[in-house]
Amino acid sequence: MTRIIRLFKFFVVNPLNKKAQPSGSAAALVIGIIALLIVFYILFLPPEDRAALLGEPYNPGGSSSSGSTSGEDDDTIDVDTSEPILIVSPGLIDWQALDEYEYTLPSFTIKKTSSDSVLTTISNFYVRNGWFDKQTRNYTFEIDDLDNTENVLLSLVMAKKKGRLIIQLNGNEIYNFEPSQLNIEPIELSPSILKEGQNTLEFRVSDVGMEFWTTNEYSIENLKITASIYDVSRTEARNYFYITEEEGENIDAASLKFNPDCRISEAGYLDVFLNGVQVFSGIPDCGILNTYHLSPNVLNIGKNSLKFTTDDGSYLIDQISVNTKLEEPVHPTYYFELDEDLFYSKKSTEIRCGDYDGKCPDDCDEDIDYDCCQEEYSDSYWCDVPTSIEDDRCVGFVTGAMCERCPSGYEDDRGRAADDCEDLCGDDNDGECPAGCVTYYDKDCCFDLSGDQYWCEDLPITGAAFACVSEVSQNNCRNCPTGYQGEGSDPDCDDVSNDQTEDRLRKDYSIILEFEFTERGNDKEAKMWINNHETGFDTRESKWMKNIDAFVEPDTNSIKLIPKSELEIKEIKVYFD
């Protein structure tokens, strides 16, 4: 708008001021009228076109200089960036890896506490019953959470009494007496009569019978309803850990360990659930390490949830670990925690770098996003998995020497293999499975497996290993951006909503993963799983780093390292940039 005002002054006001000069006044007037029309034309342009014409940023959600994007909060979160989030010194890592693994989880406290609370107070009311005069009173009070409300008591202080006082709760009589004193014992309100939400008390007095000249009456000076309210907001806690497909299919035995710091006399029942399956229920041995064997079938490939709950008392759960013994060795994993305040909820349908959605976000690299690759080259070829040479995932041409760089096969925008790579592993349309080709790199190899198989044409969000699966549940329908295809019929994913939200890192922060090696010059290559996302490195430098904003989640995060050969790592560090 400032630019429009300047245009108005330059083209309209200045020429019109020159009308007072003896020569050129008519020309100035014509110029002013034309300029005025131009200004009005600019004003009535669509906002995005006007912003582009004036060289100003356009923000459809409000002001061009402020506001949040994609649902992100504007609140600033104070974070200590002076210390790394994770720092470990692995030393020498054998590519043959480990035959057992321990998932160490952070400690926490769960407890159920109660406090006395006044639900309502009523002062100075009067009820009576006579032949010629009758008065009753109704009052209501609220109970927000009936399951966690106990010892609900009604107490009365009276100034005058005559006849029987009759009290009803929600239509049920709970008192019908003439008390001997003005102060009566508190009346317990039965949980079977109470309701969650609004409850109604009715007060009345018995009739006088044939004594028409008298009146039964009660004057109540103070009425109070109290209760014990339990705080259950901290009666449960969850931790998460991740298991790769390689390890999940290789588990021979598993166990759960934890040390409950508690007092036997005050401890309530402790229930432990792993992926929704109850693995312990009872009062554990306080102050010592408890060990319980697990069925390997309870563990999931991918994300696992461990939940502790209690119905009473207080527990500090410490030294928590899930231990697996494997039929064959797997690779080391490192964990770090991120506060949930660092994230905001973002709709899964919003544009993101790396999604197969037909859109290329601003500042998104063509070697990260398939759609950006299509925009980069008129004849583009894309590799579904990271290539052996950095920045070679999206290319404008493919030669025979390049085919081996992409294990899943370079494909054009129609999903066809590059000419020089036809009939090799990764060619999904030749009807052949080459010897030694991995099933999740070639559709023909996938469908050669016995039983029903399902194929994802694009890279699944959980990694290449999920491109070929034997079943597709409602929970993993969304793993494949373009939908799983069956050899016979497609899976039933119609009930899965796309309008869900997920946690995304706030734009104020960037998180860097850095590897420092002991020497420079030799080949260092490895695949990595960061939570459910597959990535990796291939470098000869002494340091390698990567922005992992798109991979991180609130709470527990994991980095599983799968080296191609023996690696000597001086330090692995995760930190805020």
Confidence of residue 110 (pLDDT cuts 50, 70, 90): confident
pLDDT in tens, 19-28: 444 455 666 6
Tell me what pLDDT residue 25 has.
63
Strands (E), 262-312: 270-274, 277-282, 290-294, 302-310
Helix (H) or strand (E) holding 336: strand 333-338
Q: How confident is the model at residue 381 (pLDDT cuts 50, 70, 90)?
A: very high
pLDDT tens digits, one per residue of 461-487: 666 777 888 887 766 677 777 778 888
Q: What is the 3-state secondary structure (H, E, C) of 352-370?
A: CCCCCCCCCCCCCCCCCCH
The DSSP call for residue 395 is: E
pLDDT-derived band of residue 452, with 50, 70 and 90 as boundaries? confident
**Helix, strand, or coil (residue 102):** strand
Q: With 50 as the cut, is the pLDDT of residue 70 above it?
A: no
Instruction: Indicate if the pLDDT at residue 81 is higher than 80.
Output: no
Of residues 561, 563, 564, 566, the one with CA closest to residue 86? 561
pLDDT > 50? residue 66: no
Each residue of 492-535: pLDDT tens digit? 776 555 455 677 787 777 889 999 998 877 888 888 888 877 78
Q: Residue 551 pLDDT more than 50?
A: yes
**What's the rounded mean pLDDT across residues 212-229?**
89
Helix residue ranges, H only, 44-141: 47-54
- How far, in Å, CA of 170 to CA of 336, rounded? 53
Please name the amino acid found at residue 83.
E
For 570, the token pair is 């001086």
pLDDT for 50 beyond 70: no
Pairing of strands 270-274, 277-282: antiparallel
Q: What is the pLDDT of residue 234?
A: 79
Q: Which two tokens stand for residue 521?
A: 């010059």
For 353, the token pair is 């770098």
pLDDT average, residue stretch 220-242: 86
Segment 148-196, tens digit of pLDDT: 888 999 998 888 888 889 999 999 999 998 888 888 889 999 999 999 9
Q: Structure pTM?
A: 0.38
Q: Give backbone dihedrals phi and psi of 403, rounded to 5 degrees, phi first.
A: -55, -40
Mean pLDDT, to the nearest integer, of 320-346? 83
Cα–Cα distance for residue pair 241/237, rounded to 1 Å: 14
Q: Of 59-63, 204-208, 335-339, give the lowest mean pLDDT range.
A: 59-63
3-state DSSP of 92-103: EECCCCEEEEEE
Q: DSSP states of 396-432 as a string? A: S---GGGGGG-TT--B-TTSPBPGGGTTSTT-TTSS-
In a 13 Å sphere around the CA of 386, the CA atoms on its Cβ side amount to: 18
- For 208-240, give the DSSP string: -TT-TT-EEEEEEEEEEEEEEEEE-TTSEEEEE
Asked if residue 533 lies in contact with residue 551, where contact means CB atoms within 8 angstroms, the answer is yes
- Give the pLDDT band of residue 428 (cuts 50, 70, 90): confident
| C-alpha span between 547 and 363 (Å, rounded) | 14
- Per-residue confidence (pLDDT) for residue 533, from 0 to 100: 79
Q: How far is CA 326 from CA 37, 98, 101, 305, 527, in A?
A: 79, 8, 8, 20, 20
pLDDT given for residue 405 in this prediction = 85
Please tell me the predicted confidence (pLDDT) of residue 515: 93
Cα separation, 266 vs 268, in Å, equals 7
pLDDT attached to residue 242:
87
Q: Where are the beta strands (DSSP E) in 312-353?
A: 313-330, 333-338, 343-347
- State what percent of residues in the chain have pLDDT above 70: 82
Average pLDDT on 32-46 reads 69
Task: State the Cα–Cα distance between residues 459 and 481, nearest whole angstrom.
Answer: 8
Cβ-count burial 33-71 (b if 16+ within 10 Å, e if not): eebeeeeeebeeeeeeebbeeeeeeeeeeeeeeeeeeee
Categorize the per-residue pLDDT at 65 as very low, low, confident or very high, splitting at 50, 70 and 90.
very low
Query: What whole-number distance in Å separates Cα of residue 386 and Cα of residue 395?
Result: 13
Structure tokens at 162: 């005559």
pLDDT of residue 199: 93
Binned at pLDDT 50, 70 and 90, residue 96 comes out as: low
- The pLDDT score that the predictor gives to residue 68 is 38
User: Is 130 in a helix, a strand, or coil?
Assistant: strand
Across the chain, mean pLDDT equals: 80
Q: Which of 262-266, 327-331, 449-453 has the lowest mean pLDDT?
A: 327-331
Looking at the chain, the whole-number percentage of residues with pLDDT higher than 90 is 16
Q: For residue 259, give the 3-state DSSP assignment.
A: strand
